[in-house]
Amino acid sequence: MADISAQQVRELRERTGAGMMDCKQALQDADGDMTRAEELLRERGLKDVQKRAGRSAVQGLVESYIHFNNTVGVLVEVNCETDFVAATQEFKDLTKDIALHVASAAPRWLTRDEISSAVLDAERRVYEAQAREQGKPDNVIERMVEGKLEAFYRDSVLLDQKFVKDDSKSIRTIVDEVSAKVGEKVAVRRFVRYKLGEELD
């Protein structure tokens, strides 16, 4: 087993934001290889993201984004568990990316739970009517409605939207990846998007 120095542990902690003991263990498991230790922390973190879901996250940042022509502006609050993680570059980059995404993709809600039953019922009625006009049988209509609702969520709900800078990932995925890397709960708490001349919902 490699002899791990306090300096190595500190360096890995600075690079990842993970806890001291987690950093030490990862370095030992990686025989002192800093790059491999960072990979191990990330691999382990992804498995632990769901375990962290119930934790309290009251630190974090409020980030802003103003479009170059000053017609769209965004404020977003992203939370984590400690001010240490809030100061890391990964966390800062995440908040900037989410603010940029909100400006570009114009989500209406943060999560599916925020959508009122009245809105969902109205969407269902439209999708059912469209399917019936195509002469689809009832069992097919139900599947079509569910499929269209999923598309509606991906279009309107921030955490379900495809990330504008990498459409192979959702916003939920990039948040979970940062959570895995820093070893803390990370959560988007709220956002507001202003567009010149538009009323807020």
The pLDDT of residue 124 is 93
pLDDT in tens, 31-54: 999 888 888 887 776 556 566 566
**93 and 176 inside one domain:** yes
Domain membership of residue 200 (yes or no) is no
**In contact, 184 and 51? CB cutoff 8 Å:** no
Domain of residue 33 covers: 6-48
Same domain, 130 and 170: no
Vertex 96 angle, CA 93 and 99, to 5°: 150
Which pLDDT belongs to residue 10? 83
Q: What's the predicted TM-score (pTM) here?
A: 0.71
15-19, 69-73, 137-141, range with greatest mean pLDDT: 69-73
In the predicted model, what is the mean pLDDT of residues 74-88? 94
Exposure letters 73-95 (e unless 16+ CB within 10 A, then b): bbebbbbbbbebbbebebbeebb
Does 125 have pLDDT greater than 90?
Answer: yes
Question: What distance in Å separates the CA atoms of residue 191 and residue 201, rounded to the nearest whole number?
Answer: 12
Mean pLDDT of the region 134-142: 86
| 122 and 151 part of one domain | yes
The count of structural domains within the chain is: 3
HSE on the CB side for 27, CA within 13 Å? 23
- Give CA–CA dist 144/128, Å, rounded: 8
Percent of the chain with pLDDT over 70: 90
Same domain, 187 and 95: yes
